[in-house]
Amino acid sequence: MISLNRKLIVCYIILVSVICTVNISAFASTHKPPKRQSVTHLMNRQSLDNNMQRIVLIGGGHAHVQVIKALNKHSRPSNIHVTLIDLQSSATYSGMVPGGVAKLYNLNQTKIALNSLAEWSDIEFICGKVVGMSFDNDGKKIVLVEVKDEHGGTTKKKESIEFDVVSVDIGSTTRLHASLPGAKQYTISTRPISDLVLRIQQEEEEMIKKQPNEVQVVVVGGGAAGIELSLAIRARWNDLLDSKPSITLIDSSDVLLSSETDACRSALQIIMKKYNINVRNNLMVDEVTSTHIHVKSTNSDYDGKITHEKIPYSHCIWATGAEAHTLSFDLNKEIYLDITNRGWIRVNTHMQSLSHPSIFAAGDCCEIIGDKKSPSKAGVYAVRSGPILIENLIRYLDTNSNTKKSELVTYDPQDDFLKLIMCGDGTALGFRFGIPIYGKWVWKLKDHIDTKFMDLFDVNNLPKYNEEEGIDTAQYDAYEAPTEQIRVEDAAKLLLRRDDDVDYQTAWSVIREMNTNVDYRKEVLRIMNNSPDIWW
Given candidates 66, 83, 94, 473, which one binds ligand FAD under the rule CB under 6 A? 94
Sequential DSSP letters for 55-101: EEEES--TTHHHHHHHT-TTTS-TTEEEEEEESSSEEE-GGGHHHHH
Per the CB < 8 A criterion, the answer to whether 109 and 98 are in contact is no
**Between residues 24 and 351, which has the closer beta carbon with respect to ligand FAD?**
351
| Residue 174 CB, nearest approach to ligand FAD (Å) | 7
DSSP letter (8 states) at residue 467 = G
325 binding ligand FAD? (CB under 6 A):
yes
Per the CB < 8 A criterion, the answer to whether 525 and 515 are in contact is no
Per the CB < 8 A criterion, the answer to whether 384 and 17 are in contact is no
Could you tell me the sign of the dihedral formed by the alpha carbons of 382, 386, 388, 392, in that order? positive
Given candidates 25, 88, 374, 414, which one binds ligand FAD under the rule CB under 6 A? 88
Sequence-distant (≥ 6) Cβ neighbours of residue 518 within 8 angstroms: none
Given candidates 382, 389, 510, 528, which one binds ligand FAD under the rule CB under 6 A? 382
364 binding ligand FAD? (CB under 6 A):
yes
**Between residues 1 and 180, which has the closer beta carbon with respect to ligand FAD?**
180
Sequence-distant (≥ 6) Cβ neighbours of residue 292 within 8 angstroms: 310, 311, 312, 313
**Between residues 60 and 470, which has the closer beta carbon with respect to ligand FAD?**
60
| Residue 183 CB, nearest approach to ligand FAD (Å) | 15
Q: Name the one range near ligand FAD by CB under 6 A: 4-12, 74-82, 330-338, 362-370.
A: 362-370
379 binding ligand FAD? (CB under 6 A):
yes
| Dist CA 390 CA 66 (whole Å) | 8
Given candidates 380, 390, 428, 471, which one binds ligand FAD under the rule CB under 6 A? 380
| Residue 459 CB, nearest approach to ligand FAD (Å) | 17
3-state secondary structure of 365: helix
**Between residues 81 and 377, which has the closer beta carbon with respect to ligand FAD?**
377
| Residue 485 CB, nearest approach to ligand FAD (Å) | 28
Phi first, then psi: give them for residue 249, nearest 5 degrees: -115, 120
**Between residues 119 and 398, which has the closer beta carbon with respect to ligand FAD?**
119
Q: Name the one range near ligand FAD by CB under 6 A: 95-103, 266-274, 288-296, 350-358.
A: 95-103
86 binding ligand FAD? (CB under 6 A):
yes
| Residue 168 CB, nearest approach to ligand FAD (Å) | 9
Sequence-distant (≥ 6) Cβ neighbours of residue 486 within 8 angstroms: 494, 506, 509, 510
**Between residues 100 and 470, which has the closer beta carbon with respect to ligand FAD?**
100
**Could you give the string, one character per residue 229-258, with x where binding to ligand FAD holds by CB under 6 A and - elsewhere?**
x-----------------------------
Given candidates 22, 67, 71, 85, which one binds ligand FAD under the rule CB under 6 A? 85
Which amino acid is residue 173, in one-letter code? T
Contacts of ligand FAD in 146-165 (CB under 6 A): none
| Dist CA 417 CA 3 (whole Å) | 29
Exposed (0-12), middle (13-18) or buried (19+): which is 428, by Cβ within 10 Å? buried
Q: How large is the C-alpha radius of gyration of the chain?
A: 24
Q: What is the 3-state secondary structure (H, E, C) of 314-338?
A: CEEEECCCEECCHHHHHHHHHHCCC
Contacts of ligand FAD in 122-151 (CB under 6 A): 129-130
- Choose among 42, 201, 204, 133: nearest CA to 361: 133
Q: Name the one range near ligand FAD by CB under 6 A: 57-65, 274-282, 335-343, 389-397.
A: 57-65
| Dist CA 76 CA 73 (whole Å) | 6
Q: Name the one range near ligand FAD by CB under 6 A: 30-38, 329-337, 375-383, 423-431.
A: 375-383
3-state secondary structure of 110: helix
53-58/165-168 β-pairing: parallel
**Between residues 43 and 380, which has the closer beta carbon with respect to ligand FAD?**
380
**Between residues 22 and 491, which has the closer beta carbon with respect to ligand FAD?**
22
**Between residues 22 and 524, which has the closer beta carbon with respect to ligand FAD?**
22
| Residue 254 CB, nearest approach to ligand FAD (Å) | 23
Residue 134: count of CB within 10 angstroms of its CB: 12
| Dist CA 491 CA 515 (whole Å) | 13
| Dist CA 443 CA 445 (whole Å) | 5
Given candidates 378, 437, 442, 491, which one binds ligand FAD under the rule CB under 6 A? 378
515 binding ligand FAD? (CB under 6 A):
no
Given candidates 22, 23, 56, 62, which one binds ligand FAD under the rule CB under 6 A? 62
**Between residues 332 and 406, which has the closer beta carbon with respect to ligand FAD?**
332
Contacts of ligand FAD in 168-227 (CB under 6 A): 169-171, 190, 193, 225
Given candidates 60, 99, 100, 436, which one binds ligand FAD under the rule CB under 6 A? 60
Per the CB < 8 A criterion, the answer to whether 414 and 385 are in contact is no
124-135/246-250 β-pairing: unpaired
| Residue 381 CB, nearest approach to ligand FAD (Å) | 7
**Between residues 60 and 439, which has the closer beta carbon with respect to ligand FAD?**
60
Catalog residues that contact ligand FAD under the rule CB under 6 A: 58-63, 85-88, 91, 94-95, 97-98, 129-130, 169-171, 190, 193, 225, 229, 325, 327, 363-365, 377-380, 382
